Amino acid sequence: MKTRYLTVAAGDGQKLRTTVFTPDEEIKVAGVIHMIHGFGEHIGNYISTAEFFVKNGYAFVIHDQRGFGEEWDGKKGVTPGYGFFLTDIDDVLNFIAENFPGAPVFMYGHSMGGNIAINYFLRRARSGYRKLILESPWLRLFKPPAPHLIVLAKILGAISNKITITTELKPDELTRDKAAADKLMSDTAYHNHISFRLFTQIAAAAKYANENAPELSVPTLLLNAGNDRVVSPAVIREFAGKTGDNVIYKEYSDGYHQLHNDIIKDEVLNDILSFLK
């Protein structure tokens, strides 16, 4: 597997740390998967996932989202605003189009990245993506904050985008694979900080996604972890029920939040591969 580390310039001048994984052989790739990572994560958390798809003939492109990643130059969990997630996707997509002309491009969003991916397709006028994969999208937390804390988050977020809170997210709630959980525990770039403003904006984007689920028109594979303790499996089921025939829904009854990193990852990744083909 060939690995290229580079930066993509965003519209506001921010440099987006981006990695491109491709097959070793000089072959025409079957397509390009653009990964939109989840909360607290970064490029390094998806190397084994990239290896799977590269082995099957796909290029895999992932960028560190604002507020996340080992080389993020700002405060952890702090972004200028949710909308930058969407415009950054446009900039990385332009990079993909320039470097893989004519190749079909697929978006793959996990957790917070799933929330962002849904909103991208609902809100953007154009899209250069052929299909969409959603894994455990953040449409509501499994344990939502108390109402008074949500109000407090809105107030503090309105004051500043730099006031953060540390979440109680634990690696052993993400995956049943002990080695994978231990790796997350020792990962210094993985973090659980989020600004009150960003949390409020993600919650608002989740509400928008749920209310506009019937408008999601791209061919989509929606994967739900039945034993998820991070986001609500019940709300993902409700979302699936409001979408059209273009959405294929699959639930893994015992799966944990990071299905691609769980003990059933081989089944999950092969299901995604079948959908891409």
User: In the CATH scheme, what is the homologous superfamily, with its name and number, of domain 2-276?
Assistant: Alpha/Beta hydrolase fold, catalytic domain (3.40.50.1820)
Average of per-residue pLDDT across 202-212: 97
For residue 73, the model assigns a pLDDT of: 67
In this prediction, residue 169 has a pLDDT band, given cuts at 50, 70 and 90, of confident
Q: Which of 66-75, 120-129, 178-187 has the lowest mean pLDDT?
A: 66-75
**pLDDT over 90 (residue 84):** yes
Q: Domains of the chain: which residue ranges?
A: 2-276
Residue 86 and residue 89: Cα distance in Å, rounded? 5
Furthest CA-CA distance within the chain: 57
Mean pLDDT of the chain: 94
Is the pLDDT higher at 110 or at 71?
A: 110
**pLDDT over 80 (residue 94):** yes
- pTM as predicted: 0.95
Residue 169 and residue 25: Cα distance in Å, rounded? 40
Point out which residues pair with 35 in neighbouring strands. 62, 108
Counting Cα atoms < 13 Å in the Cβ hemisphere of 170 gives 6
Residue 14 and residue 169: Cα distance in Å, rounded? 28
